[in-house]
Each structure stands twice: as structure tokens, then as C-alpha cells.
Structure 1
């Protein structure tokens, strides 16, 4: 249930509504917007008499939300989309469609700096790179841990690019948030609810990837764990799901973009690298994602994919990234968006 307060409602009126909600044995989550405040009610809607709530001072209307995700639902923002900033000038959900690019893993200080410089030169907006790497094979490279975070921070210092990196466990959330501008939750941890809650208890934005076997409904319910824990800065990321198809690593569901836009106010990013597993398919699927309405792109790029320590097969080169961003600007213009490379369009 969503309780929409009147424009100009006083704080004591909002507090009174929250108090009544708690008296009913439910949870209240006020969401303060630019023009008005809404109170998301978590719990059994059947316990609430909407007619009584609507009579409370400062209340405009009560909206019943049948979806199990209350705070992620589009109705929670009165039909308005959220815009989430990870650094000054880099926000998701607005006119700009930022590109996050970089290697799967932080391999060395020299390597990540070279990658950051290439990302900067291409016109992309943020640097990705894994300091902690969850691997299916326990003997595979697992990342450099905190040393990798320090390497990322040094690359940010040199280029000004915000960094997006993955966190694997609740105990590491504090450490990663000290270095990262945006915390990533990967597909293997998509239903690690303790990790979701821990990320919700810190203020940095969270790039939350869909689990490889999750439905959209399950995905949004899981995202609710982050929101309900107190962090409104959640960016969804579709990275492909596991199906019977074997010509790609995963099956990239571009229809998830408009579907999620119908259900939630949260921005939606597409990862065509994990979504396909093949570098040759990444540019076309990135352009398709832009056309489908994606609010951002996450792309794996490596200066020498043949010798990458992880995910070389799906990593494009710096030259390919530069060309891609130029072409993305053309697609963005066709759908009334920008990607920051319009100066290159001819």
C-alpha cells in the first residue's frame, strides 16, 4: 500500500500517518520526493482500512499495491522514475545513458590504470573491475581483494572516473564501500538476502544484477531487501538468464527493460557482455539495448582480451569501445536520449 501525502504536508502529519501504520502492526517507509512525500506500507494490506487512512490530516489518497515489492513498485514514486547518481554528472534514469566499462578483473596496478585511461578516452562514464571475483572453479583467479580496491582507487584518482566493483559477502560491504562509488551485487549473490540487506544499510548506490534463474517478480522482491534496509539508490542490471540455448553464454532478455519500466521506478542497465559471452555480439546487443530504453550499459573491455585473466572471450578492445560509443550516440539521439558522445556523431 502507498499513502500519498498532499503537497506541502507537514512533517508532524507524516509522522502521525507513520504512527497509525505501526499501530496496525505494519512497517512504514516514508519516501521524500521533490514535490511530495509518500509512505510505503509493508505488510498485509488487509489489515489497513484505506478509508480511515485517507481521512488523516495531510493525506491525499491511498493506493493499494498488490505487488509484493512495495518500495520498488512504480506506484511508490507516483509513476515517476528514479534518477540515481553514482558521481557528479553520472546518473542513471535520466536523459543520459552512461556506459560503465572496464575489465572483468583487476589484474595489476598498471593494467587497471591502462584500462581506466582507455575507458576515459573512449567517452565512457565509469570504470568497472573486480577486486573480489566469484568463480565457479575454486582454483581459478579470485581477485586481489583489498589490494585490488586500492588499485581501482588509484585509477580513479588518475582519471576521475567513478568505480563500480563487486562485493561478495556482508562482512566485506564496509570495506568495499570505502573504495567504491557504486557497489555491484553479482548474479551468484542475487538472492543472498543477508548481503542485500547489508548493502541496504550503507549509502553508496548498488548495481544489482539479476540472478541467472530469477523471474522478474523474484528479482524485484529481492531488490526490495536493499530498499527496505534503507538504501533507495538501487540500479537494476539485466545480464542474461540461463536457458536451453547454447549459442550464447546466457540469453539476454532485452524485453526485461520495458517490462521493468512498467513495474518499477528503478533505473535499468543492460550488460551485453555477460548476456552473450561473445565479444563479437556485444556491440549489436548494446545498440539494441539503447533502442529498447536501457538507462545504462555495463561493458567488459580489455586491452588484450587474448591474455585476460578472466572473461577474455566477451571483452571488447579499447578501439571497439570507442567505435561503439560513437554509434550508441546515434541510437540515443533516435530515442531522445544522450550518451555523452554527440560531438562524434556525423
Structure 2
């Protein structure tokens, strides 16, 4: 259930309604929007007395949320949320551009990439310090040393840092260095990790699992929101299908569909979604045309010698060209980049 407050509702009215929800044995999540405040009453909706809250001061109406995801739904929060983390802003008129190497390999590699993507107009730097890989023999990342290099890159460039966290016990450590905690596709339904990120004060970029439905993705986001962290971005990175011409199939219809169902901003990953460098620029442009709130793109100074995912990484020069192309598309759909 959600309790929609009147535009004229005072802070005392909101606090009173939230307290009444708690007295009924439900959890009250206060969602403050640009125009009005909504209180999500989480728990068994069959509880007697919820409807009577319509008579409380400042309450406009009490409604049932039909979607299984309550806090992530448009019913609970009608306007698109804007997630801000350092230099990165996703969900407003400006499209957030996250770029950088798949993995942190060395100081020279990372700093070269950071300077290049900054100069091209990126608003955040991506780079994996911890790399969960399908094979245990593949490059697993520089771990804590990689985190320190990312922090040094932020110090020089001012770019917000987006990096993956792979275990609940690492959330606090990664949060000391990163501005955005990325939950990878393999961990989308790692519920202990989702709960730990829900307790964090850092923004979260949640990637869709390779075989996950959109409802499953939204329910994964619900775990984070229910933990108290409202700074959640959804990322479509492609799903596994019978097609073999690309690494995954990148369904851009995800963007408008999610924007109908949820207030959480939507980011597209064309690098993993295609798995081929030559396809990335076109899908960047297409994602912006489809209404994406952000992009996350792999950029490496020397893709041929990258320790991971070089085959889908743009060179620094190619990324600069992609940014110029994307700016023209963004302007055509009344957005900025």
C-alpha cells in the first residue's frame, strides 16, 4: 500500500502518517518527490486499518500497489529519480556517461584511460578492481591495489568512480574508494550482497542477469531500496539468447518499458551487450535515441593487449568520436551529454 500525502502536507503530517503505518506492524518508507510525498507501507497488505489512514491529517489517498516491487514502482514514485554520485548524475536531462577499462591493470593504463575519457566528456570512470570471471584462471583484478589506483584517478580527474563489488563483506571496503557500487550480472540475485548494498550510503548500479526477467531485476532492486538506499540505477547489459552473432542480445526496448514501470534511471551497457568493438558506437547512439539515462562503455588505451574484454573495448580515440556522435543524437531528443 502507498499513502499519498497532499501537496500541503507538513512534516508533522508526514511523520504522523509514518508512525501510524509502523503501529500497524508495517514498514514505512517515506519517498519525497518533487511535487508530493508518498509513504510506502511495506508488509502484509491485508492488515486491518491501513485504509483508515485516509482520514489522517495531510493524507490525500491510500492506494494498493499492484506491482510485486513496491518501492521501485512508478505508483510509489511518479517522477524519475535522479541519482547523483560525485561528478555523475543519472536520471535528469543530462545523460550520464560512464567510461573506462574493464579491469584496472596498471597505473599507466588506468591514468591514460581516465585522462582520455575525461577529455572526451565522460562524467564517471569505470574500472574493475575485483573481476569475477567465468574461468578461475582468467585475470581476477588487482583488488585493493586497484581500488587505490581508482581513487588516485579520481583525485586527478575529478571523475566519480564506478567499480564492482562481488561479496557482502567487501561493500564497506569498496565503498571507501568508490562513488558507485556496481553489482554485476552474475550477482544480480546475490541477495546478501543486495542487502549489504542497501545498507550502504553509496549509489548502486545494478546490472541485469544474463537470464533474468525484468520483474526479477526490479525485485533485486527492491532489496536495495528496502534496505534504505534510494540511490539505485538499473543497467541493461544484454541477455543470453540463441543468437551467436553477438556476445549477448541487447534489447533496447528495455529502456521505455522500464521507464513506464519504475522511477529508477536506466543505463545501457553496449560493450557487454554486443561483445564487438565495431558494434558499440551504433548501440551507443541507439540507446540514447531510445531514451537511456546513461551509458557505461569500456575504453582501453591498448585493447589488443587488454587483460580482459579487449575485443569489446573502444580505443581512446574511438571513444572521443563516439561522444561527438552521441551529442548530436542527444540534442535531437532534447537531452544533453
TM bucket normalised to smaller: over 0.9
Alignment match, 1:38: 38
How far off is 1:156 after superposition? 1.1
Residue matched to 2:76:
76
Equivalent positions of 1:30-179 (< 5 A) are 30-49=30-49, 51-77=51-77, 79-88=78-87, 90-179=88-177
Q: Is 2:209 the partner of 1:211?
A: yes
- The correspondence of residues 12-27 of structure 1 with structure 2, limited to 5 A, is 12-27=12-27
Structure 1 stretches (4+) deviating beyond 6 angstroms?
Answer: none
Aligned CA RMSD, in angstroms, stands at: 1.2
**1:181 paired residue among 172, 179, 182:** 179
Shift of 1:50: 5.3
Shift of 1:34: 3.9
Name the SS for the 1:269 alignment partner.
strand
Query: Could you tell me how far apart the structure 1 residues matched to 2:333 and 2:63 are?
Result: 32
Taking structure 1 as the reference length, the TM-score comes to: 0.95
The whole-number CA distance in structure 1 between the counterparts of 2:67 and 2:290 is 24
Q: Which runs of 5+ in 1 are unaligned?
A: 340-346
| Cα 1:3/1:183, change in 2 over 3 Å | same
1:8 deviation in Å? 3.4
Q: Between 142-151 and 155-164, report the one with greater CA deviation.
A: 155-164
| Structure 2 gap segments, 5+ residues each | none
Q: CA deviation at 1:76?
A: 1.4
Q: Deviations over 1:147-183 (max 9, x none)?
A: 0000011111111111100000010000000000111
Q: Where does 1:167-246 land on structure 2 (aligned, <5 Å)?
A: 167-246=165-244
- Partner Cα separation in structure 2 for residue 29 and residue 209 of structure 1: 24
Any idea what the Cα deviations from partners look like across 1:227-285, whole Å, max 9, x if unmatched?
A: 00000000110000111111111110100000000000000000000001101100001
Task: Give the equivalent residue in structure 1 for 2:267.
Answer: 269
Structure 1 residues 316-338: Cα deviation after superposition (integer angstroms, max 9, x where no partner):
11111000000001110111101
Aligned residues: 337
Give me the whole-angstrom Cα distance separating, in 1, the residues matched to 2:306 and 2:119.
Answer: 20
Distance 2:48 2:93 in 1: 38
The separation in 2 between residues aligned to 1:49 and 1:325, in whole angstroms, is 54
Q: Structure 1 residue 23: deviation in Å? A: 3.1
1:304 and 2:302 are equivalent in the alignment? yes
CA distance in 2 between partners of 1:113 and 1:122 (Å): 14
TM-score (normalizing by structure 2): 0.97
Residues of 2 paired with 1:51 and 1:98: CA distance? 40
